[in-house]
């Protein structure tokens, strides 16, 4: 079951904040966030684990609500370099071979 991301697209000005959401219909073990610039490969941003542990990017934060099976990515004081498509990848159970199921992405455009 593919996680649902919202919004599908967002446009903001440099310095503004944005929130990207990822929700799942199944219980999650972890949520991973990646950013992909046009024509490039996805690049790792952050992992959030059940139990609250986070590992990732310095200037980007995220939350993981296990009960609601949701994660949110917070981009504060956006920079032009934040433009790209953001994907969440969900890992459903501790018994999996660490497969990720990716959402369809949120396209973020930061304007000067």
Partner 1 sequence: NAGVTQTPKFRILKIGQSMTLQCTQDMNHNYMYWYRQDPGMGLKLIYYSVGAGITDKGEVPNGYNVSRSTTEDFPLRLELAAPSQTSVYFCASSYSPDRGPYEQYFGPGTRLTVT
Footprint on this chain of partner 1 (rule: CB under 8 A): 2, 30, 32, 34, 40-44, 47, 49, 53, 55, 87, 89, 94, 97-105
71 to 10, 62, 81: CA distances (angstroms): 17, 7, 22
Q: Collapsing DSSP states into helix, strand and coil, what is residue 4? A: strand
Return the number of the residue (47 or 60) whose C-beta is nearest partner 1: 47
What whole-number distance in Å separates Cα of residue 32 and Cα of residue 92?
11
Neighbours of 14 (CB within 10 A): 12
Closer to partner 1 by CB, 44 or 74: give it: 44
In the complex with partner 1, the residue whose CB is nearer, 43 or 77, is 43
CB of 47: closest distance to partner 1 in angstroms?
A: 4
């Amino acid at each position: 079951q593919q996680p649902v991301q919202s919004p599908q697209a967002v446009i903001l000005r440099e310095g503004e904040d944005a929130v990207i959401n990822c929700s799942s219909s199944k219980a999650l073990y972890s949520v991973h966030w990646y950013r992909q610039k046009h024509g490039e490969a996805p690049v790792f941003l952050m992992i959030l684990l059940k139990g609250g542990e986070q590992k990732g990017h310095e200037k980007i934060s995220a939350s993981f609500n296990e009960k609601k099976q949701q994660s949110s990515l917070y981009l504060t004081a956006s920079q032009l370099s934040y433009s790209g498509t953001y994907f969440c990848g969900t890992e459903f159970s501790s018994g999996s071979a660490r497969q990720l199921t990716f959402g369809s992405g949120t396209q973020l455009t930061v304007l000067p």
